[in-house]
């Protein structure tokens, strides 16, 4: 019994430092009122230098229109990682989209940003329509969008 407990203690001590701590973040995208079909929306994380880090969500059901989410497409295609975000239906005028994700603690106060790209068929597209730094010391940040996004609220839980 003592050997088992000692072995368990040693293995736990060796494994525990490798465990990555993560916090939940939620990004709430509220769309402006606009005419036309629903918007395609990409929510993604960028590094402090502006390079793509990871996909959090892509909304819009037809792949052929996703190319209009230019900031996300450019970053995702240059990264050597699989697309790892959630997908869903496009987001209509005045609607709200909430994306929940786990983000490593090491990224929280390091200058990483949540970006939102939007595009509406025959109505235009906005690269980095809204962007917010992920900051644990400021658990809730809201910014206005430049195009179809009325506001982007990022919360660290």
> What pLDDT does 125 receive?
96
Phi-psi region of 9 (alpha: psi -120 to 50; beta: other; left: phi over 0): alpha
Per-domain boundaries in the chain: 23-156
Ranges of residues in the chain whose predicted pLDDT is under 70: 1-20, 80-86
**Pairing status of strand 52-59 against strand 86-88:** parallel
Sign of CA dihedral 37, 38, 39, 41: negative
Q: Which residues of 115-135 are buried (b: 16+ CB within 10 A; e: fewer)?
A: bbbbbbbeeebbbbbbbbbbb
How far is the C-alpha of 131 from the C-alpha of 133, rounded, in Å? 7
> What pLDDT does 139 receive?
82
Residues 133, 112 contacting (CB under 8 angstroms): yes
Residues 149, 42 contacting (CB under 8 angstroms): no
pTM above 0.85, yes or no: no
SS (HEC) of 32-80? CCCCCCCEEEEEEEECCCCCEEEEEEEECCCHHHHHHCHHHHHHHHHCC
> What pLDDT does 81 receive?
65
């Amino acid at each position: 019994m003592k050997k088992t407990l000692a072995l368990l203690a040693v293995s736990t001590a060796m494994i525990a430092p490798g465990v990555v701590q993560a916090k939940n973040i939620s990004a709430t995208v509220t769309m402006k009122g606009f005419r036309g079909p629903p918007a395609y929306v990409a929510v993604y994380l960028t590094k402090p230098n502006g390079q793509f880090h990871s996909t959090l969500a892509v909304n819009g059901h037809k792949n052929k229109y996703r190319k209009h989410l230019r900031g996300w497409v450019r970053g995702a295609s240059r990264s050597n990682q699989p697309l790892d975000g959630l997908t869903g239906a496009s987001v209509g005028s005045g609607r709200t989209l909430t994306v929940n994700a786990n983000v490593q603690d090491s990224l929280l106060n390091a200058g990483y940003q949540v970006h939102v790209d939007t595009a509406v068929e025959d109505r235009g597209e906005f690269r980095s329509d809204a962007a917010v730094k992920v900051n644990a010391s400021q658990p809730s940040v809201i910014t206005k969008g430049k195009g179809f996004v009325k506001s982007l609220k990022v919360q660290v839980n």
